[in-house]
Amino acid sequence: MVTLVRIGIPRALLYYHYFPLWETFWRNLGVEIEVSPPTNKQILDLGVEAAVPEACLPVKVYYGHILTLAQKVDYLFVPRLISSQKGTYICPKFMGLPDMLKHCGYNIPAIIAPTLNARHGKKAWERSHLQAAEELGFNRRLTQFAWQQAQRELASYHKELQAGRTPVDILYQRQPPKPTSRHTLLLLGHPYNIFDEFVSMNLINRLYHRGYQVVTPEMLPPKLVEKEAARLPKHLFWSLGRLLVGTANYYLQEKSIAGIVHVVSFGCGPDSLVGELLERRAKKLAHVPFLLLTLDEHTGEGGLITRLEAFLDMIEWRHVS
């Protein structure tokens, strides 16, 4: 058995999709886990300073979380996420993230960076996790046990998501307020934008306060998302993009939602194209109002609130008249 180590997991990027997996895995190995605090101004400022100016907001926020954790842990857990699903990629920046951090010019602890590439088969994620743990000195049987537990945890997390709870509700053990409006809104966007309350300026809670029920892409069963995403003329090779397109396609046909709010970060490569396709589709169908909110480190809360309120008022008037 190795001595107790502390591993830092940043509360950013795909934390909202995979934290239960990673937490259970390392906890079962007896590793102490330090999660960075929810994003705040200081974290953002750190990230903006450390990252290249051309990087998108979520990547800058990630840098900030890493630097916040740097003094407190022995290792940082920054997986090299290449693909979470056969035939797709995540985003080039995720693929280079461990290297970008290693060479960012700040003093940070060693990075544990398993390469997660589902293009190399179903077992690729497992192999990389086990290997990463073994390199730290854990024995194979223990790591296998931890992996099984972790997968079970992730499966039950997915189940809860599909039951209609948001990642933050589950991770922070919260209950959303009871909706007072009969309308449901679709909140589209990458999890690290819509569920990070600092980055999204509390968007989801603002919708709750207006009485809406909110659905997010995570709540649809993956099979359905895949089916809807397959309607595109060409196989879309970004997994997060597929999630957005699949969800939007599904709800645009369902007609059960009163509006779509799409949140993108400025300069997001995949979203610059995926978002464009979505917006054009929504406009053509014309029966669902569509609001596009673009976020970056300079976005002012006032502007965002004004646009959101105008949008929500418009939805309400539509249903009155």
Partner 1 sequence: MKVTFPHMGYLYVPLRAFFSQLGIEVVVPPPISQDTINLGTRYSPEFACLPLKINIGNFLQAAELGADTVVMAGGIGPCRFGYYAQVQKEILADLGIHLDMIVLEPPQGHWRQLFRGLKSLAANAGPVTVYRAGALAWAKLKVLDKLAKNQFVIRAREKVRGSTTQTWRIILDLVDQADSVQAVYIAAEQGQKLFDRIVLEPHRDVLKVGLVGEIYTLLEPAVNLEIERLLGEMGVEVVQSVYLSNWVMTNLVLHTFHLRNDGEHYQLAAPYLGSFVGGHGLETISTTIFYARSGLDGVIHLAPLTCMPEIVAKSILPQVSVDEDIPVLTFMLDEHSAEAGIQTRLEAFYELLKTRKQRGHKNNIKQIKNESTILGRKSIIESLSWH
Q: Which residue ranges make up the site for partner 1 (CB under 8 A)?
A: 51-52, 54-55, 80, 82, 88-93, 95-96, 98-100, 103-105, 113, 115, 232-234, 236-238, 266-270, 272-273, 275-277, 280, 294
Structure tokens at 169: 């509700």
Closer residue to partner 1 (CB): 245 or 312: 245
Q: Which residue in this structure is represented by tokens 């194209």? A: 273
Work out how close the CB of 174 gets to partner 1 at its nearest, in angstroms, rounded to a whole number. Answer: 33
Closer residue to partner 1 (CB): 185 or 260: 260
Work out how close the CB of 165 gets to partner 1 at its nearest, in angstroms, rounded to a whole number. Answer: 30
**264 Cβ contact partners less than 8 Å away, ≥ 6 residues apart:** 189, 190, 193, 271, 275, 292, 293, 294, 295
Burial 63-93, CB ≥16 within 10 A → b, else e:
bbbbbbbbeebbbbbbbbbbbbbeebbbbeb
Work out how close the CB of 267 gets to partner 1 at its nearest, in angstroms, rounded to a whole number. Answer: 4
Closer residue to partner 1 (CB): 9 or 55: 55
Are the C-beta atoms of residues 184 and 154 closer than 8 Å to each other? no
Q: Quickly list DSSP for 30-45.
A: T-EEEEPPSP-HHHHH
Work out how close the CB of 309 gets to partner 1 at its nearest, in angstroms, rounded to a whole number. Answer: 23
Are the C-beta atoms of residues 173 and 20 closer than 8 Å to each other? no
At residue 20's C-alpha, the angle toward residues 205 and 226, to 5°, is: 75
Closer residue to partner 1 (CB): 82 or 154: 82
Q: Which residue in this structure is represented by tokens 């051309």? A: 54
Closer residue to partner 1 (CB): 51 or 204: 51
Work out how close the CB of 233 gets to partner 1 at its nearest, in angstroms, rounded to a whole number. Answer: 6
